[in-house]
Chains A and B, each alone.
Chain A
């Protein structure tokens, strides 16, 4: 359901403005309106509030502090012992009494105690990553380099060349002899399967020309860290190894020190992050407010149930100097009222649908309860399998456990997990109805199939006439039923009935909405659709069910349907009449419930059939694995396809009949920590 909202105006003495703003942010119930967009005599004398230079400066300082604080926070790991909400709240409150200067000093203190450690830690990590890159290269070159001796006048360059390009070494040697006039030597050897190492030794005075040549020819040299560039390879390698061993203990010590700081500062830093973000947000809201000589004016919407409490608090805290009044909104203002949802716990998960579209417009009915009823039914009808239901239930419980453990605040995953949990239960219940457990596993076990492979009804609930033959129907319901069987007819009737109920409920909501908003044409249009469906129900009910009433029911149903199309045309114009006639197609569209279910159960039976083909003995294990793999695929498809189809039926077949999206969604001005 949608919360009833009250349009409120808060007026107070200007000197109390910032305290009131802080109080409202603490309460977190007021959806702010931009007073500068208001027109009319009520607002004519109000001057919009502006961010003066002092406030701009304060905002910049707050942002700067937030940036510095966040930089420190990002370098600290959360303490092992979880910081409780009460501690964070206490710290947050402590900032409310502090001046900006005091907060600034605190951030500086945090920085001074962490800056050096953080920078040292970063240096060590960079060094470690750098050395780890050099080590394997040097190790490749070293065996060759140890055989080469150079004098002070000679220098050397090491090259690593891929095995397939080793002939390039001959070319390099020729060019080197040409550049140095023969004052050079080239040593090469294969160092592993894919690499050739080469050391070029030449007189130092040709150094520039040789480097230029190698650069022009795009030959990669082994470059040592600058500080080791002049050292022989064996010394360089030893030094690299020594330094590489020294870093981990140093890094460990720094991390321990940072952990100690984190234990001491983390709660403060997190609270300060939230506090600074909230302060910036409250300053950003200032241009939305109005003022006159001595008072400020804040307008907005809040849930009607919160007005009394807010009034009481403002009166107590500001001793009558701040007043909140409830306004009677005009028709135009009501159009801009924000939508806030409040649904019971069992229905709430289905609010996920509003991640795809905006919530309903304020003043209209909230269809979440409709989704909560039909989504699991449509999903379960399609997937229906006790085994799959249990797997999905386990998966949903596991996800809940993981989310709880990780303290996830993702609304998407929370809603998805809860919807999956509810749908797993409906899948299990429909599975009982079809007596399917990983397809026909149980049916095979009990031997309930006849020679033609059809499921035998164990518990007869009634008979259906098929081509003059009375066929029994009951439990279990066979989904793989052929066109000429009673069970097929029954399932088709069931899906159309689900469609009638689903679309009928949507149309009733549309009708009620039309009556509530005195929109006569809208109400007549929806009534027309309903009459058309009612006519169809009467016609097909007499053809398939009460055949004795056929002579009266068919013409009666036809008249009601035609009148329905006429009414829809009157209410919604040509489009309305056409839409009413197309409703028949919408109803048939529910046959997808049968189609998707059929695909799912056939795939499950294919899995079992293939598994059984592997015979006996050890091959049973292979058979089980094959069957399990196909069942896993079927479950994955079984979650995806029924979800999308259920969504589609809800949003295309149902919502289009009545739904109006909200233009404004309720976003209270509250402490959000910048999120």
Chain B
């Protein structure tokens, strides 16, 4: 039972973070694509902007990894 909860916890940690990152990257990506059509010189900023929400999924992954390391009863 506890092992199952650990697995669900880990899945939620990475899954929700990935969804949030994907959603925000889609918004930023669409906005930056529009901006790039007008100002191609913003390409560098676009890459950085799109990379910013990745923090969420990276940290989600770390948390998920840490959760999977837990042992039932700890």
A residues sitting closer than 8 Å to B (CB atoms) are: 355-357, 482-484, 488, 589, 591-592, 594-596, 598-599, 644-645, 647-648, 651-652
Task: Known contacts A592-B55, A596-B58; decide if A652 and B48 are in contact (CB<8 Å).
Answer: yes
Secondary structure at the B interface, as helix, strand, loop or mixed, is helix
Apart from A592-B58, A598-B61, 4 more pairs, CB < 8 Å: A484-B74, A591-B58, A647-B47, A648-B52
CB distance from A455 to the nearest CB of B (A): 14
B59 lies within 8 A of A592 (CB):
yes
CB distance from B65 to the nearest CB of A (A): 6
A residues near B43, Cβ cutoff 8 Å = 356
Q: B51 contacts the other chain (Cβ, under 8 Å)? A: yes
A-B contact count (CB 8 A): 52
Docked complex Cα distance between A283 and B22 (Å)? 53
A648 lies within 8 A of B48 (CB):
yes
Q: B72 contacts the other chain (Cβ, under 8 Å)? A: no
A652 lies within 8 A of B52 (CB):
yes
Contact of B48 among A356, A483, A594 (CB under 8 A): A356
Interface size class, chain B: 10 to 19
Q: Name the residue of chain B whose CB is nearest to the CB of A589.
A: B55
Docked complex Cα distance between A589 and B53 (Å)? 11
B residues sitting closer than 8 Å to A (CB atoms) are: 43-45, 47-48, 51-52, 54-55, 58-59, 61-62, 65-66, 69-70, 74
| 25 contacts across the A-B interface (CB closer than 8 A) | A356-B44, A356-B47, A483-B69, A483-B70, A484-B74, A589-B55, A591-B58, A591-B62, A592-B54, A592-B58, A592-B59, A595-B58, A595-B61, A595-B62, A596-B58, A598-B61, A598-B65, A599-B58, A644-B54, A645-B58, A647-B47, A647-B51, A648-B52, A652-B48, A652-B52
A residues near B44, Cβ cutoff 8 Å = 355-357
CB distance from B55 to the nearest CB of A (A): 6
CB distance from A492 to the nearest CB of B (A): 9
B51 lies within 8 A of A598 (CB):
no
B residues near A594, Cβ cutoff 8 Å = 62
CB distance from B24 to the nearest CB of A (A): 14
Docked complex Cα distance between A648 and B52 (Å)? 7
9 closest A-B pairs by beta carbon, nearest first, are: A356-B44, A482-B69, A595-B58, A483-B66, A595-B62, A644-B51, A592-B58, A648-B51, A483-B69
B residues near A644, Cβ cutoff 8 Å = 47-48, 51, 54
Q: Name the residue of chain A whose CB is nearest to the CB of B45.
A: A356
Q: Name the residue of chain A whose CB is nearest to the CB of B42.
A: A356
B residues near A488, Cβ cutoff 8 Å = 66
Docked complex Cα distance between A595 and B14 (Å)? 12
Docked complex Cα distance between A648 and B58 (Å)? 14
Q: Name the residue of chain B whose CB is nearest to the CB of A650.
A: B48
CB distance from A596 to the nearest CB of B (A): 6
CB distance from A662 to the nearest CB of B (A): 14
Contact of B51 among A483, A484, A595, A645 (CB under 8 A): A645
Docked complex Cα distance between A596 and B55 (Å)? 10
B residues near A647, Cβ cutoff 8 Å = 47-48, 51
B residues near A591, Cβ cutoff 8 Å = 58-59, 62
Q: Name the residue of chain A whose CB is nearest to the CB of B67.
A: A483
Contact of A482 among B47, B48, B51, B66 (CB under 8 A): B66
Docked complex Cα distance between A589 and B55 (Å)? 7
Docked complex Cα distance between A599 and B52 (Å)? 18
B48 lies within 8 A of A598 (CB):
no
Q: Name the residue of chain B whose CB is nearest to the CB of A354.
A: B44
A645 lies within 8 A of B54 (CB):
yes
CB distance from B28 to the nearest CB of A (A): 13
Docked complex Cα distance between A645 and B66 (Å)? 21
A residues near B54, Cβ cutoff 8 Å = 592, 644-645
Docked complex Cα distance between A301 and B19 (Å)? 52
CB distance from B63 to the nearest CB of A (A): 9
